[in-house]
A and B are shown apart, each in its own frame.
Chain A
Amino acid sequence: MTTLTAPPVRRRNARPVWMGQPSRASQSLKALVIALIVLVMLYPFVYVIAMSFASREAQASGSAFPTSYSLDAYRSIIGGGVVTRSLVVTALVTVVGTALSMLFTTTLAYGLTRTRRVPGSRTVLVLVLCTMLFGAGIIPNYLLVRSLGMLDSYWSLVVPGLISAFNMVVVRNFFMGLPEELLESARLDGASEWRIFLQIVLPLSKAVLAVIALFYAVGYWNSFFNAMIYLNDTAKWPIQVVLNQYVVQGTALSTLQAPDQPPPPGQTIQMAVIVVATIPILLVYPFAQRYFTKGVLTGAVKG
């Protein structure tokens, strides 16, 4: 037994021979810099989440981390009131908007995959790419939305940003990379373009569709400016506008809470509003994260 030599195991992270060993000093310096970066990135999140659970006494003691916890802040903003309503609005806009954006983006992307065969489609592609270079400006966009009668309507949060040219290019590039023979053979078998799109192209593109859907969903969840300028009716405000009004600008908090609740300390409530506005993103983020690089790079700038 002892005469058997173990097979040469190559460790996954084995460094190539030419690389040489790093010095102790440079290793510790790197570790220090990275620890610092991680701290700066994470501390604000950890602090806000921890403080949102602080009990009244812990909040009053003013330490960097709470010593005792309570759910008062969440109880007072969830069960009714402005925050609850704005969360529902935001969730609906996010779901409907993402679904419509995906529909319009993928169909346009597929329509523009065969620019050499479909007369006129190259012109459309150039028109779309040009929109990445310039925009009309804030006022003309506002005037358009107003003249379409979408002021104070939830459609103003969805329709003007329905297709992102960048996302369309990402999806189109992915579609173009699908094996041409597959689509051609389906065509010869008599499949219609719509059938090819629904039954071959879309199922093969799940990875890129997941990334783009996440981008759209995050965009809708985070959308602030459109809601601020197009919705005058405060009852329609999504969570980001509420967050700005009550946390960033510091307008009085009283209307935020559900009626007949004893008010917890204002700062704790602010933290809790931040947390509920962030949670959905923190939840979906780990699932889609592994696709990011692929999704972003297939679309990298050139059309």
Chain B
Amino acid sequence: MAVLERPGAAKAVPGRPGRDRAARRDRPTTSVWERVRRERWMYTFILPGLVFFLVFAYLPLLGNVVAFQDYSPYWGITGSTWVGLDNFAAMFGDPQFVRALTNTLIISFLQIVFAFPAPILLALLLNSLVSDRVKRVVQTIVYLPHFISWVIVIAIWQQVLGGAGPIADLFSTIGIHDVNVMADPDTFKALVTSQVIWKNVGWGTIIFFAAISAIPDELYEAAAVDGAGSWRRTWHVTLPGLVPVITLLLILTIGSVLTVGFEQLLLQQPAVGADAAQVLDTFVYFRGISGGDWGLSTAAGLFKGVIGTILVVAANRFAKRLGTEGLF
């Protein structure tokens, strides 16, 4: 019991008014009720937060029963009829859902291949700079887009890359007209990936910088003494030092393969069309909240959530088997 840890607490301050209470603390057989009573004020700190998480994180989990109902807002959850797995059957037979799932997986794959390594490369590049001042200035600049909402990011990109922007102008001066990258379904997935890199690459470097700074200088020195040039030092010292962090982040990324920039895609879907831009989250939104097909869209959301959680837990177990620390 934790209370045993401070045996000296009462004896250290003889004659204090709190002595009796402090002495009681030392009795090894404090009942739980006694401990609860002693710490009662701490519960006033915990209670509001606990209520918040129960209501806004755990209560909605129950709302997923709608996935097994022919839900109608008029009858509510208690009054709607149960349909078993019908919604799931309809979902897998729906070409739009299959399209959304494929798009999600393609975009996820592109992000793991291109967006995931980008911050690692940038961190290595900035780390190789000698001047602290240049490093800090560049960091300030590359962090910036992380703090801007997707709406602003897309609005800005539209102004620069859209049909009326300077890039399209540039193309038309060399004779290529009507270039509008922002509305081209064929290149949309590449566009989405570049937007993600632009917005998040700088912010992503923070955690790698911390990992790099934790690598002891002696390792570099020893490598240099053994004749390793700067490339070999990066390859044999820096990168191995980053492996635990990379594994950790990869677990998180794999856990969210079915979640790809919801707002980002929702905002751009009207310009490029559902065939190229529909992903699971936007499918749920358009089918459910705009379309009123509650049961089916909840089923799609539940499918996404369950698979995602299974993937994180599995990836974590796998990482532990590989000998890294894992996430939890």
* Chain A residues within CB distance 8 Å of chain B: 12-13, 15-16, 18-20, 22, 26, 30, 33-34, 37-38, 40-45, 47-48, 51, 62, 64, 104-105, 107-108, 110-112, 114, 116-121, 124, 127-129, 131, 133-144, 159-160, 162-163, 165, 168, 184, 188, 190, 192-194, 197, 218, 221-225, 229, 240-241, 243-244, 247-249, 267, 270-271, 273-274, 277-278, 281, 285-286, 289, 292-293, 296-297, 300-302
B contact residues around A117 at 8 Å (CB): 2-3, 35, 39
Complex partner residue of A293 from B35, B64, B210, CB under 8 angstroms: B210
- B159 interface residue per 8 A CB criterion: yes
Q: Does B119 contact A (CB under 8 A)?
A: no
Which chain B positions have C-beta within 8 A of A48?
156, 159-160
Contact of B57 among A136, A139, A194, A225 (CB under 8 A): A136
Q: Which of these, B49, B157, B266, contacts A107 with CB under 8 Å?
A: B49
User: What CA separation (Å) do A248 and B162 show in the bound complex?
Assistant: 11
B152-A243 in contact (CB<8A):
yes
Shortest B113–chain A CB gap in Å is 20
Given A134-B305, A139-B289, A249-B270, do A168 and B49 touch, yes or no (CB 8 Å)? Answer: yes
Do A267 and B45 have beta carbons less than 8 Å apart?
no
Q: How far is the CA of A173 from the CA of B275 in the complex (A)?
A: 45
Number of residue pairs spanning A and B whose beta carbons lie under 8 angstroms apart: 271
Partner of B285, one of A107, A116, A138, A160: A138
The number of chain B residues touching the other chain, given as a range, is 35 or more
Cβ-defined contact, B160 with A135, below 8 A: no
Instruction: Annotate B215-229 by CB proximity to A: 1 below 8 A, 0 otherwise.
Output: 001001100110001
Q: Which residues of A contact B39 (CB under 8 A)?
A: 114, 117-119
Chain B 72-111 near chain A by CB (<8 Å), digits 1 or 0: 0000010000000000000000000000000000000000
Q: Are A289 and B140 in contact (CB under 8 A)?
A: yes
Q: A111-B49, A224-B263 are in contact. Are A281 and B305 (CB under 8 A)?
A: no
Asked if B166 contacts A64 (CB within 8 A), the reply is yes
> 14 additional contacts, CB 8 Å, given A33-B125, A64-B166, A273-B155?
A18-B220, A34-B125, A40-B198, A41-B198, A111-B44, A111-B45, A114-B42, A136-B60, A139-B297, A168-B49, A197-B45, A224-B151, A224-B263, A270-B155
* 3 pairs of A and B residues whose beta carbons are closest in the complex: A140-B63, A108-B49, A111-B45
- How far apart sit A55 and B62, CA to CA, in the bound complex (Å)? 56
Q: Which residues of A contact B289 (CB under 8 A)?
A: 138-139, 142, 229
Residue of A nearest to B224 (CB): A18
Report the minimal beta-carbon distance from B269 to chain A, rounded to whole angstroms: 10
Residues B206 and A296 in contact, CB atoms below 8 Å apart:
yes
CB-CB under 8 A for A18 and B221, given A121-B46, A141-B60:
yes
Contact check, A133 vs B312: say whether CB atoms are below 8 A apart: yes
Chain A residue contacts of B143, Cβ below 8 A: 289, 292
Q: Say whether B144 contacts A136, CB under 8 Å.
A: no
The closest CB in chain A to the CB of B294 belongs to A139
Inter-chain contact B148/A138, CB cutoff 8 Å? no
* Docked pose: A30 CA to B284 CA in angstroms: 45
- Taking CB atoms, residues of chain A closer than 8 Å to B22 are 188
Chain A interface mostly: helix
Q: Which of B16, B141, B284 contacts A41 (CB 8 A)?
A: B141
Chain B residues close to A by CB (< 8 Å): 2-3, 9, 13, 16-18, 22, 32, 35-36, 39, 41-50, 52-64, 66, 77, 122, 125, 128-132, 134, 138, 140-145, 147-152, 154-160, 164, 166, 169, 198, 202, 206-207, 209-210, 217, 220-221, 224-225, 229-230, 248, 255, 262-263, 266-268, 270, 281, 284-285, 288-289, 294, 297-298, 301-302, 304-305, 308-309, 312, 327-328
Question: Within the assembled complex, what's the spacing in Å between the Cα atoms of A57 and B46?
Answer: 61
Contact B45 A110 (CB under 8 A): yes
Residues of A within 8 A of B134 (CB): 34
Q: Which of A168, A248, A297 contacts B210 (CB 8 A)?
A: A297
Establish whether residues B156 and A138, one from each chain, have CB atoms under 8 Å apart when the complex forms: no
Cβ–Cβ contact A47 & B166, under 8 A: yes
Q: Are A137 and B302 in contact (CB under 8 A)?
A: yes
Residues of chain B lying within 8 A (CB to CB) of residue A277: 149, 151-152
Q: Determine how close the nearest CB of chain A comes to the CB of B183; give it in whole angstroms.
A: 11
Report B-chain residues with C-beta under 8 Å of the C-beta of A121.
42, 46
On chain B, the residues within 8 Å of A168 by CB distance are 49
**B201 CB to nearest A CB, Å:** 9
26 A-B interface contacts by CB (under 8 A): A13-B130, A18-B220, A18-B224, A30-B125, A34-B129, A43-B160, A44-B159, A48-B160, A62-B169, A108-B46, A127-B50, A127-B53, A128-B53, A134-B309, A136-B64, A138-B297, A139-B289, A139-B298, A142-B288, A160-B56, A222-B149, A240-B151, A244-B267, A285-B147, A289-B140, A296-B207
**Chain B residues positioned under 8 Å from A15 (CB to CB):** 130
Partner of A292, one of B206, B230, B263, B294: B206
